[in-house]
Chain A
Amino acid sequence: MFRYVRRRAMTSVLLLLFVLLGVFALARMTGDPTSLYLPESATPAQREAFAEINGFNDPLLVQAYDYIRGFLHLDFGTSLRTGESALTMVLQAFPATLQLAVTTMAIAIFLAIVIGSWAAYRPNSLADRLASVLSMTAASVPDFWLAISGIWIFAIVLGILPTSGTDDGLLSWVLPVATLTIGRLGVLVQVVRGAMISALSAPSVRLARSVGAGNVRVVTHHALRNAAAPTLTVAGDLAVGMINGAVIVESIFGWPGIGKLMIDAVISRDYAVLQAAVLLTAVAIFVLNIVIDICYALLDARVREPAKI
């Protein structure tokens, strides 16, 4: 098991290094980094002064060294927009995204297990076909359009939910969480359904049935346990990809999270903040990947002794 986790952790470390170097390389690839960091209206004298202060005139290796040292010291520079430390801004935004992500994943996983098991229990029944078609549709609808349709129907036409912001307590959670949940639910239902269908026809389940275990017990005690591994894998991927959804949903609903921060940074060309947000997101994904892998290894004995690759 430890070999497995160590191998997976290596991949995650690799990812972190990749992102670190990628962000550095991208910033230097455009030629003059000052044009990346400074607004377009900056005068040549301002550019020169900025380049001197930030060491853009040093040799590339020295710059790379300073950059990595800055990362290790958690020094990401200051925001051009607010003058605050980029790190502070990102850390302030992080909890909002985390709350959104955890709530969404919890709801999506719970509903997917219920709906997916129900559909798998009677394959090809009306309920199953309905679940399949609806889950495919849910997975094909773009997040941003779902959000806008939600605003149009529930906030503008019906007027029962706020259009954006976080001032209305629980009510302001409904649309962002629902938007993010639907797409993930669509994917997860299909995974749970597929995994449950194979789990329900497994010999162990047939045996449990022949010994006289009731239907509910068979599903909850025997089949679900075997269906958990594939579900966890996909749920893990979805959790990592949640940042994609967060960028969109947060910028539509004005949710003060990391996604909105990133888009704002792009629009106002605030590179220090964008860089800090991307690097810290990579760290969060790094941690998440390791947690998922440990869960996965605990759940499935076969994983602990990995086959080749």
Chain B
Amino acid sequence: MTSLLDPMTAADGAEPPARDQRTSRVSLWLMLWRDKLAAFAALTLTIVALIALVGPVFLGDVANDQDLLRAKQPPFSLDDGWLYVLGTDSLGRSMVVQLVLGARTTFSIAVPAVLVALVIGSVVGMWAGYHRGWRETVAMRTADVLLSFPSLLLAVVVLYVFSPSAANIVLVLVITRIPVYLRTARAEAAELQSRTFVDAARTFGAPPTAIIGRHVFPIILPTLLTVATLEFCSVTLAEASLSFLGIGIQPPGVSWGLMVSEGQPYLSTAWWLSMFPGVAIVITTLSATILAAWVRIATDPDQRWRLAVPRRGRRRTPLEVPA
């Protein structure tokens, strides 16, 4: 999945214009607003995150309301109030409530997994790339080994041996995703450490940690954030897959992947049990993918002009933009 969006950066066949002074003054928010698709993706992701954060607080005690008499009520009917607009599951629980709880699970696993892997991977990667030599070799070989082994297989083995708790799922996801950040940070740091400004800092006696922290890290950060956005998508998919296979979140916990799996036996009588959680997963992951494509362009000084120039200008030759 790492190289998922690499090609998106490819030039659209046009050369970037001479450095546009105006560009730097256009704020990121305005740029996001101008790219309607990315803005929509960001908005969707924010809404899902908010629902995950505050939704369960509002729902409180309704969450576990079971009513077997009302099991598998079809969706899109307001007879029982808005809570049941998406129907009920096989135990008569509201699908809306279950989906909200699933959102919380998704975020409470994906966010820590992405952040921990981001921190560990980029620190080790920068360290390896800055120092080069044996440190680089060891780090890269380890990353190669981890990356060339199917992540799900590792998760299956680890979760077989240890109990499949939320913490263990995060652990497995962190281990399998660290190499992605490690490779990115290593490549950029290795390139940066030969630049003049790093040389200058070294000449003035700055210790490696200070150089990495003050001179290398700020330059790599945008790239790492892009990767992290995309990784949010992979991690969400991985958690859903594990839960679907029965080695992730365990009942009575709620996860979108688990919901799809629990709905599978009722596919012919109650399609919504599997379909709605699946749609929730796709909405979340697709938003993250689209947003990552935007972040990648927006944080790249050579590509940013594409977002800063008004649409009409973009259609014509970009070279007409005032320099």
Contacts and interface: CB of A to CB of B under 8 A. Distances in A.
19 contacts: A11-B148, A18-B149, A26-B161, A124-B12, A139-B289, A140-B288, A141-B286, A143-B241, A144-B245, A145-B282, A148-B267, A148-B274, A148-B278, A156-B267, A192-B7, A197-B11, A247-B152, A263-B245, A281-B150
A109 interface: no
Given A144-B244, A152-B274, A198-B11, A190 B5 contact: yes
B1 A187 contact: yes
A241 B150 contact: yes
Given A23-B157, A198-B10, A266-B247, 18 more contacts: A27-B161, A136-B293, A140-B233, A141-B285, A142-B282, A142-B285, A152-B267, A187-B1, A190-B8, A197-B13, A233-B3, A243-B153, A244-B241, A252-B264, A274-B157, A274-B160, A281-B150, A309-B190
Contacts of B7: 190-195, 197, 230
Contacts of B278: 142, 145, 148-149
Interface of B: 1-13, 132, 136-137, 140-141, 144-145, 147-153, 156-162, 190, 233, 237, 240-241, 244-247, 257, 260-261, 264, 267-268, 271, 274-275, 278, 281-282, 285-286, 288-290, 293
Given A23-B157, A194-B7, A262-B156, A285 B289 contact: no
A29 B158 CA distance: 11
A241 B152 CA distance: 9
B148 A201 contact: no
B9 A244 contact: no
Contacts of A140: 233, 237, 282, 285-286, 288-289
Contacts of B136: 309
A285 B146 CA distance: 12
A244 B12 contact: no
A240 interface: yes
A305 interface: no
A248 B245 contact: yes
A234 interface: yes
Contacts of A22: 157
A201 B13 contact: yes
A156 B265 CA distance: 12
A123 interface: yes
Listed residue (A139, A233, A237) with the most chain B CB atoms within 10 angstroms of its CB = A139
Nearest to A191: B7
B149 A194 contact: no
B75 to A, nearest CB: 14
B244 A248 contact: yes
A247 B153 CA distance: 8
B5 to A, nearest CB: 7
Contacts of B282: 137, 140-142, 145
A267 interface: yes
Interface residue tally of chain A, by bracket? Answer: 35 or more
A144 B4 CA distance: 19
A60 to B, nearest CB: 17
B82 to A, nearest CB: 25
Contacts of A18: 145, 149
Contacts of A142: 237, 240-241, 244, 257, 278, 281-282, 285
Nearest to B187: A309
Contacts of A194: 6-10
Interface in A217-238: 230, 233-234, 237
Nearest to B244: A144
A251 interface: yes
A79 interface: no
A15 B247 CA distance: 24
A303 to B, nearest CB: 15
Contacts of A26: 157-158, 161
A278 interface: yes
Nearest to A143: B241
B148 A145 contact: no
Given A201-B13, A247-B245, A266-B247, A240 B150 contact: yes
Nearest to A122: B13
A105 interface: no
Interface string A189-212: 011111101101100000000000
Given A14-B141, A140-B233, A201-B11, A281 B153 contact: yes
A155 to B, nearest CB: 9
Contacts of B5: 190
B293 A144 contact: no
A36 B240 contact: no
Contacts of A124: 12-13
A285 B10 contact: no
A90 interface: no
A251 B264 CA distance: 12
Interface in A22-73: 22-23, 26-27, 29-30, 36
- Counting from the closest, the 8 A-B pairs by CB-CB distance are A194-B7, A145-B278, A244-B152, A140-B285, A194-B10, A140-B286, A243-B150, A197-B10
